[in-house]
Structure 1
Amino acid sequence: MRKNFYYLLMTLCIMSVFQSNAQSKFKGVVKDNKERLSLFGATVSVLSPSSNVEEKTTVDFDGTFKISSVKAFGTIEISMHGYVTKVISFYKNQDDTIDLGTIYLEDNLVVEKDVIVTTSSIDVIKDRKTPISSSTMRNYEMREKVSNKDFIELTSQMPGVYTSRVGGGFGDSRINVRGFEQNNLSPMIDGIPVYDLEAGIVDWANISSMNDVATSIQLQRGLGASKLVNSSVAGTMNMILRNANHDKGGFLYNSVGNNGYRKFAGSYATGQLKNGFSANFLLSATSGDGYVKSTNFEAYSYYMALGYNKGKSDFQFKIFGSPQWHNQRVSDIALSNYVFQGNGTNEADTKYNRDWGYLNGKEYNTKVNFGHKPLGIFQWDLNVSDKTQISTKLYGSKGTSGHTNFSGGILGASGLDILDNNSQIDLNFINQYNSGNPAVFGGTTFMRDPNYNGQYVNSPFNGVFTDNNGNPVASNDSGLTLLSEITNQTFYGGILNLKTELAKNLSLNLGIDSRKTIYNKTRIVNDLFGASAYSIDFYDALNASTPGLWYSLNTSNTALPEPILDFTKKNLGATPVDYNYDAKIAYLGSYAQIEYDIWKLNLLAQGGFNRQFIERVDYSLIDDSKNATGELAIDGYNAKFGVNYNITRKHNIWANAGFVSRPPVFVTVYSGLNNDVNPNYKNEKFKSFEVGYGFRSRHLNLNLSAYSSTHDNAETPYYTPEAGNFGTTSGINRINKGIELDITAAPIRKVILNGTLSLGDWTYSSNAIFQNLAPTANGDLSEPSILYIEDHKIGGAPQLMASIGANYEVFSNFIFGSNLKYSDKMYASPSLERYDPAFYGEAFAFESPVRLPDFTVVDAFVSYRFKINVVNAIDLRLNINNFFNRKYISESNSSYQLDSIDPSTYNENSTSNPSFRDNGNIYRGIAGGNNAFFGLGRTWNFTARYEF
């Protein structure tokens, strides 16, 4: 017995020695289980049998970790906020390193998900740390929910966001955030601004395949977290492209849907090879007939990322492009025209499109949008030390975009809609008239006379023009021509950012941002519709000593370009007509950002300054001369401050405040199709204050925020392709206030609930001023007009939005769900010029904008994921949007009240013209003369995705 006791004691001593001296070494890779992204910053801990933390480390940039322990047995815990913690038990008594392989963490849907980036040149929100309102979509969410919508429509489920398909064309959607139009939003691809600096517009069509190549899209509402000085007013949308070292594998994707919708995509990534190189490729093709009549489209996308990661350096080279063309519905349509269109009932035919017709028996759309503007990015991240990173980013783009438009007119048909018996454009009538043949319309015969050397020459205007000697050189008959408004875009720039940790929990970012942009704007002729030629330059014609100089006689020896129905067929080398100018914008900015974490407080402060140099260069169309304005310098600056306080692990509160002085866009400074400078331009001023509260638990995620934003000195140019900016409305001041709430809950394991609430109060805080830029007879400008808009509601988006959704997992990987969104307190958004009592009359000018009917839209889906093995899987999904086929008005740009005079029955000789109410011209409680676009009815698509 005693001998056995000694043997037992010796065994325990030996085990004790092994446990105290043997090194347990482990290594592995930690990644997201859905997107296979490296989870930089995840915590890896070695726990003793009593759950005490013995050792701890964090996951590196590439997702790898190494950790060791003297313990011979215990558990390894891998955790990260937003993911379910994974625990691995171990028992060993040898010094060999155990490779745990790739450890995939499961996303906890209830917890706010941080966007993972490894470069300091991209600014993203960190949950419970960055004091900014934000919402994030990961790639798997985008591919599941996008259906056959425009990718920008996915943001409509975020609080404070409203999206509209506008006319219904592919890529034509617009977004409104907290009551601000999308020209006040800053879209960024990998931290690079991609909005139009000339006109301030956002071209979503040319990045329509972003959902295929982005790892995540984060919408930061309000001030945003971007360090760049060209800050947003409404928010910042950061679209983050996948890196080259995306996990090895790929997918094939096929989708079909309503109205001939088809999409195919394929992608493959090599993963990071042993030599440090990696590559990632994607190709996709999308086409369809469009929900609205004659809005067929064709779009492609390509993406290539090449990477090299070795030692302290990470190189990424990315190219993304999305060539596309699509037919559009652009022209205004009154509600009464919808109601009596096509179906013979007193109900709206929401698919009606007046922008197409038949020419010689073939369908012909006169509104076509096209473009291809590829973007190239080179990024070098150098991790100088554990505390310092230098990020260098160079980028550039060169491409073309445009859209077709009618120019000119028909003598005697001014103000008439040239529509046939089916309410489509009567292109055969236009063709007959342009060529000098008798053309009958509405029982009246129209016929033009030759206007130059026996020929029928089209020009942009009706009117009598004379040369320097006062001799007429054209009749007041311009004919109708289809032209393309062309933008040839070139931009290139760079961002240099230094991030360093000055002390424990104190970090500093310093950077410079430089960019040069050139927009060449011109027009080319697509179709003369039977005419002999087109005047090459109407403006130079007025000063030409020889009238014949200003005609471009496009005879059989000089063929016109084909109508643009395909971006591969457009002839962009055709002769420019009407105008040809460069908008040149050079930009240089610098910024600083400091972050300090102390106790439970997170402090953030940013500031920056930029200077823009803008210049306009006008090119003559009849000789080689040009006229340049010289550079005009305009400064901008911003400052932001925010604080977050984590009360407990579940509760946090935050606040931010800031101001922005934003230079006006190019077309506001250079008004008109000439080099004249708008004398009234000013920097826009933006101030914001916001507070918020967050709650996090395993079963509930809640975000509540309240904001107040003032936007002063905004200016809107009034533009036509023929006249340029003929007027401008300035002094547009507004106050946008509101509250936003979003909740995600998981009451039981298989159910995920979510809801949002947005309540806004958006009003104009003062009257505005309209200035006619056309000089009077003595060369001066006329007196400005006061536009009475003070206290009027701002239209374009519902000021009350609420949504509720649910996902239910019936059995493993089989899920169905639905989302309901209610919208109310939405007002029309007419041009502010209509509030001029001197021009429109006092009764009309003082009317408030029309309140549109409320509406509710329900979407639904069902999906199943079939796992073939650990790597391979097949995803099947059916999406049905607007499940109940609800008919609703998505926007209106006019504001007739029920008691306004109905123009359709107006008689200038009568003293008592009837109103819309008198005529019964009413649609769902609003006047039938109001222009409007409807939301799309029921649409669907079915997708199959194979992952390998």
Structure 2
Amino acid sequence: MKVFTKSMLAVISLSTASVYYAQSVKDTANTKEIEQVVLSGVADIAKDRKTPVAVSTIKEAQIIERLGNQEFPEILKTTPSIYTTKGGGGFGDGRLNIRGFDTNNTAVMINGVPVNDMEGGTVYWSNWAGLSDVTSAMQIQRGLGSSKLAIASVGGTINILTRSADKKREGNVTVGLGNDGYLKTLFSYNTGKSEKGWSSSFLMARTAGATYIDGSDFEAYNYYFAVGYQPNKKHDFQFTFTGAPQWHMQNYQSTIDTLIKYGSEDKPNRRYNSNWGYMNGDKMSQSVNYYSKPVMSLNWDWTIDEKSKLSSVLYASWGRGGGTGVLGSINKTSINNLPKTADGLIRFDDIYAWNQGQHVADFGADNKTPGQANRNNGFVRRSHVNSHDWYGFLTNFQHKINSNWNYSAGLDGRYYYGYHPGLISEFWGNSQFTETNDKNRPGGYTVTQSYKPVSSANPFAKAIKDKSQIASRNYDGEVMWLGTFGQLEYSKDNISAFLQGSISEQGFQRIDNWIVNQDILNPDGTVKIPQTVQQGQKVNTKTGFKYIFGYNAKGGVNYNINAHHNVFVNLGYYSKQPNNYSVYPNSQQVLNPKLTNEKISSAELGYGFRSSTFRANLNFYYTKWKDRFTRITNLTLKDQTDTEVKNIYANIEGVTEVHMGGELELSYKPVDFIEINGMLSVGDWHYKGNATGSLFDENNNPFIPKDGQSTKTLYIDKIKVSDAAQTTASLGLTVTPVKALNVFGTWNYYNNYYSVFDITKASTAQTKGALELPSYNLFDLGLSYTFTLNNNNKLVITGNIYNVFDTYYLSDGKSSIFTDEAPSKLRDGSNNTQKLTYDQLGYTYKGIATGNQVYFGFGRTWSASISYRF
């Protein structure tokens, strides 16, 4: 498409559904530069030395060579200010932070379409595990980025660009292997474009095995189908349908003490998983995640004339699945506190026997209601379903005013309905479960049907199965969104600039199918029967929509000093709507009385250098995030009559975070066969100022306690923001001794990682805040070799070793206990009556109190693959 000049391509567009673009690698004086040749659409792709944002791009070849059996986000670990880990280690359970912000505040987009969950803003990578097979490139824009949409790009934007139906004619068969029984098989084929303008792509893959963690079995599929049609130069249509159904066993954090118990003092058992065991000789886990999220999209690009173009996409997603847990107890003991095997495994066979009425000596008294479980007696495994129907559209009109000016404007509409019932997935020897939590069915009812936690092969499966068999919970969430956006761009000679803004209206509604309206509940939770409501009649359980207005504005300027040097600056301000769980907090129908938008202001300054052998980017950023939703819950206080009142809460106002730092990214190619890449990012992320909130009772009325202090203060000033390394560094070396062979190694360094700290516990000025964990270094090695066969077909072999030196390291900290604090119990289970500290007891690991809950990173792992391309 030649109707737009290169200057216009600074911030505009790429196809939103099945991106229709070409990527060329330009070699100028031995310097490789990725040049995005944008052909159509609404995704906002940054262009080097044009778009004034901090950006990094990961190419398809790098994903194929180096990802292996890692988590998809881990391909970004050599990018500045990105911290990514495997989380609990289950398949697809990895997590990612950009500049200290998690995915709730980082926009993840596929071909320009936002995919962050519309209720909570999260991104579950297990839902998108198959993306690695169809990704053509990933662009990471740190900070507010260049997207015109009103999205949660506080930390940054990750735009994943998938295969196009218009790729050249080619087939691919791949087999991949890895540690712990990992096996992947893949087949794909692209037809190329016919003379009449038709093209198609197809991919099918299966991945199965286990990860490094014990009890982490999984099975995942991936399918991708795309059809393109370009009848003439004015119109281009692209249809895409893709999905990645999967199930996997999960792992939750354990204390270091527990890992030492099943390992040793110097080498805790980093493979240990407390969630699993055996039943009748087969692996069984209390925690299984299963999900299928097929996405369908239809894109139309219309070149109206030489100056105007309209790009539109309709898309839909039908998420189906959830995660399992346990309902019930045995003699008031939870499943995690029951006696385990010598290896720390759950004794599922004994649980099965106890449920059926058999005697299990160390479980206590025998079951008095064999085969009939309820919330207080016996165990069943439940599934909490988190399904949804999501429909949306995007449309973007682009117009060239003259050789220097152009503008674009568009609409963004979305509708989301989330289904959150509960089901029974295993009765574990019981024949039924009695559910009593439905206030509309006094006396409860019996559930007898179980559903395996496996994703349906049908991408259009019903979100809710038999409504009479719901257990544990039953609520829905509904979200509506409509936004409009616009952008004005200028480019002349060495200067390019943009100014953009958007406004949006977002509506939230919560539907609780078990709890009748709050205004007909007595204080003790029983149902009032006013004249308008008859006994046994089900009343309206909808809250009604709460609509919230949001907006953003941002702009930037890039100046190319000469062919080597450029500088840029950008500024932005967001008024961001809170998510559904802030509007209706604590799983209640009560509207947050102190509902307010979050305010984000950001500024960034950047410098770039380009030469024939050396490239460098240096960025400095400052982001201020105000009015972050925070609530203190479950307080028990005495009122003015000296009566204890439970469930008091406080909505804290004025919680402010400051994220600032610098980022350096380097690439050096001294000779044709050697390339060196490096990065360094140093951040200072902390809370600024203390924050205060008023007290309320569970009926949403202001509460004045006996002491008259009707507010609660959090002393959080200067406490570090937790859960991501604030200092990261990387150095990589790629050697190409012969044209077909790449040998590469990478060193990664992480420091200033602060473990999770619950700021609602910062009740005094003496609060210590977040615990700093030890720094660590990791080394990876890999190679790839391409054999070119006689018929010009290719055989590609790859191999990777991750954590080459088998380093023990803490990748995630989930609590902040200091060594001068005292545990309540000693390791032998007795009470710590002398109040000895962790330090005094010697309960430390690398200077950390062993009572902390953590995840260890994986030890040495490996992957290999062979691909035949024809």
Same fold (TM over 0.5): yes
| SS at 1:595 equivalent | strand
Q: Partners of 2:852 and 2:456 in 1: how far apart?
A: 34
Q: 1:412 to 1:947 in 2, by over 3 A?
A: closer
Report what 2:450 is aligned to.
560
| SS at 2:825 equivalent | helix
Report what 1:418 is aligned to.
338
Q: 1:506 to 1:228 in 2, by over 3 A?
A: same
C-alpha contact 2:374 2:435 (8 A) present in aligned 1? no
Q: Equivalent of 1:458, from 366, 369, 374? A: 374
Q: Partners of 1:894 and 1:514 in 2: how far apart?
A: 40
In the TM superposition, residue 770 of structure 1 has moved relative to its aligned partner by 7.2
In the TM superposition, residue 935 of structure 1 has moved relative to its aligned partner by 0.8
Report what 1:919 is aligned to.
841
Report what 1:613 is aligned to.
507
- 1:647-690 Cα distance to aligned partner (Å, 9 max, x none): 00111000000011110101111123342112122111111000
Does 1:792 pair with 2:719? yes
AA at the equivalent of 1:759: V
C-alpha contact 2:289 2:324 (8 A) present in aligned 1? yes
In the TM superposition, residue 156 of structure 1 has moved relative to its aligned partner by 0.8
Write out aligned runs for 1:514-913 (5 A): 514-540=413-439, 544=442, 547=443, 550-554=444-448, 559-562=449-452, 564=453, 573-574=465-466, 575-620=469-514, 626-716=540-630, 731-768=654-691, 775=698, 783-837=710-764, 846-868=767-789, 871-905=792-826, 912-913=834-835
Moved more, 412-421 or 522-531: 412-421
C-alpha contact 1:119 1:391 (8 A) present in aligned 2? yes
Q: Partners of 1:370 and 1:40 in 2: how far apart?
A: 46
Q: 1:314 to 1:632 in 2, by over 3 A?
A: same
Q: Equivalent of 1:490, from 389, 393, 400? A: 389
Q: Partners of 1:522 and 1:694 in 2: how far apart?
A: 52
Q: 1:455 to 1:551 in 2, by over 3 A?
A: farther
C-alpha contact 1:871 1:947 (8 A) present in aligned 2? no
- 1:873-919 Cα distance to aligned partner (Å, 9 max, x none): 11111111111111100011111111100233299987631111111
| SS at 1:679 equivalent | coil
| SS at 2:34 equivalent | coil
In the TM superposition, residue 282 of structure 1 has moved relative to its aligned partner by 1.0
AA at the equivalent of 1:296: D
Moved more, 373-382 or 250-259: 250-259
Q: Partners of 1:508 and 1:366 in 2: how far apart?
A: 54
Q: Partners of 2:89 and 2:165 in 1: how far apart?
A: 35
C-alpha contact 1:880 1:938 (8 A) present in aligned 2? yes
- 1:89-140 Cα distance to aligned partner (Å, 9 max, x none): xxxxxxxxxxxxxxxxxxx984442333322311100110000111111211
Question: Structure 1: 5+ residue runs without aligned partners?
Answer: 1-37, 44-60, 63-78, 86-107, 460-476
| SS at 1:685 equivalent | strand
In the TM superposition, residue 757 of structure 1 has moved relative to its aligned partner by 0.2
Q: Equivalent of 2:150, from 229, 235, 238? A: 229
Q: Equivalent of 2:134, from 190, 209, 213? A: 213
Q: Partners of 1:924 and 1:145 in 2: how far apart?
A: 31
| SS at 1:903 equivalent | coil
In the TM superposition, residue 795 of structure 1 has moved relative to its aligned partner by 1.5
Write out aligned runs for 1:284-303 (5 A): 284-303=205-224
In the TM superposition, residue 311 of structure 1 has moved relative to its aligned partner by 2.5
Does 1:501 pair with 2:400? yes
Q: Partners of 1:525 and 1:503 in 2: how far apart?
A: 63
Q: Partners of 1:552 and 1:516 in 2: how far apart?
A: 35
- 1:232-276 Cα distance to aligned partner (Å, 9 max, x none): 111111111222111111211111111111111111111111001
Q: 1:599 to 1:880 in 2, by over 3 A?
A: same
Q: Partners of 1:223 and 1:660 in 2: how far apart?
A: 9
| SS at 1:286 equivalent | strand
In the TM superposition, residue 530 of structure 1 has moved relative to its aligned partner by 3.4
Q: Partners of 1:725 and 1:391 in 2: how far apart?
A: 51
Q: Equivalent of 2:243, from 321, 329, 332? A: 321
Moved more, 367-376 or 709-718: 709-718
AA at the equivalent of 1:945: S
In the TM superposition, residue 772 of structure 1 has moved relative to its aligned partner by 7.7
Report what 1:931 is aligned to.
853
| SS at 2:49 equivalent | coil
Report what 1:447 is aligned to.
366
C-alpha contact 1:672 1:726 (8 A) present in aligned 2? no
Moved more, 296-305 or 614-623: 614-623
Does 1:181 pair with 2:71? no
Q: Partners of 1:780 and 1:440 in 2: how far apart?
A: 49
AA at the equivalent of 2:387: N
The alignment's TM-score, normalised by the length of structure 1, stands at 0.81
AA at the equivalent of 1:519: G
C-alpha contact 1:696 1:702 (8 A) present in aligned 2? yes
Moved more, 295-304 or 479-488: 479-488
Report what 1:311 is aligned to.
233
| SS at 2:821 equivalent | coil
Q: Partners of 1:946 and 1:318 in 2: how far apart?
A: 25
Does 1:271 pair with 2:185? no
Aligned residues between the structures: 814
Q: Partners of 1:816 and 1:848 in 2: how far apart?
A: 44
Q: 1:412 to 1:763 in 2, by over 3 A?
A: same
AA at the equivalent of 2:605: V
Aligned-residue sequence identity (percent) comes to 31
AA at the equivalent of 1:758: S
Highest Rg: 1 or 2? 1
Q: Partners of 1:802 and 1:505 in 2: how far apart?
A: 40
| SS at 2:744 equivalent | strand
In the TM superposition, residue 778 of structure 1 has moved relative to its aligned partner by 8.7
C-alpha contact 1:115 1:216 (8 A) present in aligned 2? no
Does 1:155 pair with 2:49? no
Does 1:84 pair with 2:27? yes
In the TM superposition, residue 929 of structure 1 has moved relative to its aligned partner by 0.6
In the TM superposition, residue 552 of structure 1 has moved relative to its aligned partner by 1.3
Does 1:396 pair with 2:316? yes
Please, what is the CA RMSD of the aligned residues? 3.0
| SS at 1:291 equivalent | coil
In the TM superposition, residue 439 of structure 1 has moved relative to its aligned partner by 3.4
AA at the equivalent of 1:760: G
C-alpha contact 2:246 2:454 (8 A) present in aligned 1? no
AA at the equivalent of 1:163: T
Report what 1:25 is aligned to.
none
In the TM superposition, residue 142 of structure 1 has moved relative to its aligned partner by 0.9
Question: Structure 2: 5+ residue runs without aligned partners?
Answer: 7-13, 16-21, 516-535, 635-645
| SS at 1:392 equivalent | strand
In the TM superposition, residue 868 of structure 1 has moved relative to its aligned partner by 1.9
- 1:533-592 Cα distance to aligned partner (Å, 9 max, x none): 323341417x82xx2xx12152xxxx4334x26656999624212332221111100010
The alignment's TM-score, normalised by the length of structure 2, stands at 0.88
Moved more, 304-313 or 411-420: 411-420
Q: 1:358 to 1:231 in 2, by over 3 A?
A: closer
C-alpha contact 1:831 1:893 (8 A) present in aligned 2? no
- 1:467-502 Cα distance to aligned partner (Å, 9 max, x none): xxxxxxxxxx34332110101210111111000101
Report what 2:11 is aligned to.
none
Does 1:258 pair with 2:179? yes
